[in-house]
Amino acid sequence: MGKTADYSEKIRGWPWFIGVIILWVVYLSIIWISNWPLKEDKGEFGDTFGALNALFAGLAFAGVIYAILLQQRELKLQREELELQRKELEDTRVEIRGQKETLQKQNFESSFFQLLGLHSEIVVVQSKVEF
C-alpha cells in the first residue's frame, strides 16, 4: 500500500475515538450539572455507570469484530502476495535453467574450439617438420 492508503486508514479510527471522548465529556458534565452524587444518592450514582459500562463493552466488542475483519483482509493480501512470489520463483527457475543450458553450450563450444585450435597447431608443426 502507498502512503495515501496508510494515512487514510489511520484517519478512519479518529472519528470513533473523538466520538467516545465527546460522549464521555457530555455524560460527566450532565452528572456535574445535576449535582450528583449527594450523600444519600451514592448508590444511585454508582448505578448510573451501568449504561456507560454497557457502552464500552459494546465498543470493545465492535473493536474485536473490526480487528478480526482487518486481520482477515491482511491474510487475504498475504495469500495473494505469496502466490505472486511462487509464480515469480517458478519464472526464475525457468530462466536459470535456460542460463544453465546456454552456459553448458558455451563451455562445450569453447572446449571444442580450443581443441580445434590445438589440432591446427599440431598439423602446422607436423607439416613444417616434414618439409
Average pLDDT over all residues of the chain: 84
Kindly tell me if the per-residue pLDDT of 11 is higher than 70: no
Q: Which of the four pLDDT bands, split at 50, 70 and 90, describes residue 129?
A: confident
Q: Region 100-126: what's the mean pLDDT?
A: 91
What is the reported pLDDT for 131?
60
Tens-place pLDDT, residues 95-108 = 999 999 999 999 99
Q: Tell me the DSSP string of the chain.
A: --HHHHHHHHHHTHHHHHHHHHHHHHHHHHHHHTTPPPGGGHHHHHHTHHHHHHHHHHHHHHHHHHHHHHHHHHHHHHHHHHHHHHHHHHHHHHHHHHHHHHHHHHHHHHHHHHHHHHHHHHHHHHHHHH-
Q: Region 76-85: what's the mean pLDDT?
A: 96
Distance separating alpha carbons of residues 21 and 13, to the nearest angstrom: 13
